[in-house]
Amino acid sequence: MSNDLRNFLTLSYGELEELNLAAKEQRKNRVPAHVIQEERLKYLTDAKGIKAITVMFSDLEGRLHMLDYDKKFLINSFDNLTFDGSSIRGFTAQRESDLRLAIDWSAFYWGPADVFGSGKALVFGEVVDKDGSAYRGDLRAVLKEFSNEQFSKNGYTLNAANEIEGFLFKGTDAERHYHELGKFEYVNTGGYYHSLPGDLLRTFIDTTAEVQRSMGFENEKDHPEVAPSQFEINYSYGEVVAAADQIQLYKLICRQVATRMGLTASFLPKPVVGVNGSGMHTNVSITKGGKNVFWDPKGEEKISKFAWQFIDRILTHGNDICLMLNASVNAYRRLDPHFEAPNQIKASATDRGSMVRIPIGNEKSSRVEVRSVGPDANPYMVLYSVFKTGLDGEISKIKNLRQAERYLPDNVYTAMENFRASDWSTKLLGDDVKGRYADLKQASADRCPRLLGTFVKAPEVQYHHEVYNQFLWNQF
């Protein structure tokens, strides 16, 4: 249908970037929530071209959900948005299904109409329990609460940036059809850094990078990765909740651009055996009063004692949090030492097989890189568990903790056993949410062969938390 008679808002990519960067700056500067709310509501009231608002939230496993609200309805009812929580895996039981959505007006995005549809804007929501408190199954709300607490009590700003790898495959919905075809088809076999201008992989990367730039990502670099048809598109650091939001948007943008090209962007950690898998290297740092507290030019590897203690706590609890960082059956294929897999629970400035790496840095860029994270993990759970563990965890008395011969699990069942038995995972999530999460991982694992074997099995794709739908799930 022609849009000639519709008065949808149409903005250039440059105009979108200006709006999104201004909103990002407000968020960075912690402009009070009521000020931003008032500004956004006035904008929506005055903006005749916006017809609907897409409200986004994530379930316990990290799958992104989206609800479109008519703009006029949202303006009048933003403080009374309800939805059926029993229909979201890991949320409430059917008998207590009603939950509310609060709007985080600071997390407001203007998206390109050619990617997200005309007349829409996007905003992240927060799940609210019946008593008005943050819903503990919404890890975004948990992360935000923890981040705000660290800022108010200690003056800490938690910062993160994630290097998210993925694969581009031929055909739309390639993951959902994997059980029919038994394989994925590459669109490019050029390898690391090599993709000719105009081929499918390069066109996909260029288009995705443009969309990200328009949405205020502040891109750094992008390129094909080591494996055939693999990509990585990097962008700048952000405050931890905004950084996690950007992971969700990054994956959404990649999937949307790929679909429009008749392709599939996949974030399975190891969709093809025999080539490098995909990771989500998680770079973290902490600033206080504008200064990076991880930096010490005289410290070992030029990081501070504070940073080393942060690392030691993560190494101590490596097996406790492994299931939170590697959230699927398929993720444990990636923890294979033959493909630069970060499966060793140690820290190193050079060894890429270490769970934690200390990249070369300076006062501005000094950071800690947690390499053992899969790209399909819940980003809010990942960043919450990394920061909470690094700041509040215990430090083991294991001799030579940073270089000890210790390894992450090579299968999801061992990871689940460690997670269920861990006191630390209970402190992180609480008994109820921990039990729900473990049960979800168990349900998916029980639909797959226990032994991974030498090729990717259909069930580990079909019942993956980012792939399944009710139709596929019920085919078990």
Q: Got the DSSP string for 37-96?
A: HHHHHHHHHH-TT--EEEEEEE-TT--EEEEEEEHHHHHHHTTSEEEEGGGSTTS--GGG
Instruction: Give the N- to C-terminal CA distance of the chain in Å, as an integer.
Output: 40
For the ranges 97-106, 237-246, 381-390, the lowest mean pLDDT is seen at 97-106
Q: State the Cα–Cα distance between residues 204 and 206, nearest whole angstrom.
A: 6
CB 277 within 8 A of CB 371: no
Task: List all residues 6 or more positions away from 345 whose beta carbon is below 8 Å from its beta carbon.
Answer: 315, 318, 319, 355, 404, 406, 407, 408
Domain range annotation of the chain = 13-135, 156-473
Q: State the Cα–Cα distance between residues 102 and 83, nearest whole angstrom.
A: 11
Q: What is the pLDDT of residues 266-298, one digit of tens each?
A: 999 999 998 989 999 999 999 999 999 999 999
Question: pTM (2 decimals)?
Answer: 0.95
Q: What is the pLDDT of residues 57-74, one digit of tens each?
A: 999 999 999 999 999 999
Mean pLDDT score of the chain = 92
Q: Domain 13-135, CATH 3.30.460.80 — does that match?
A: no
Q: State the Cα–Cα distance between residues 321 and 121, nearest whole angstrom.
A: 35
Instruction: Determine the 3-state secondary structure of 228 from DSSP.
Output: coil
Q: What is the pLDDT of residues 319-350, one digit of tens each?
A: 999 999 999 999 999 987 766 689 999 999 98
Q: Quick one: pLDDT band at residue 128, thresholds 50, 70, 90?
A: confident
Residue of 318, 326, 323, 313 lying closest to 405 (CA atoms): 318
What confidence score (pLDDT) does residue 2 get? 53
Q: Give the amino acid at 241.
A: V
Q: What is the pLDDT of residues 462-472, one digit of tens each?
A: 999 999 988 88
Q: Average pLDDT, stretch 97-112?
A: 91
Q: Domain 156-473, CATH 3.40.50.300 — does that match?
A: no
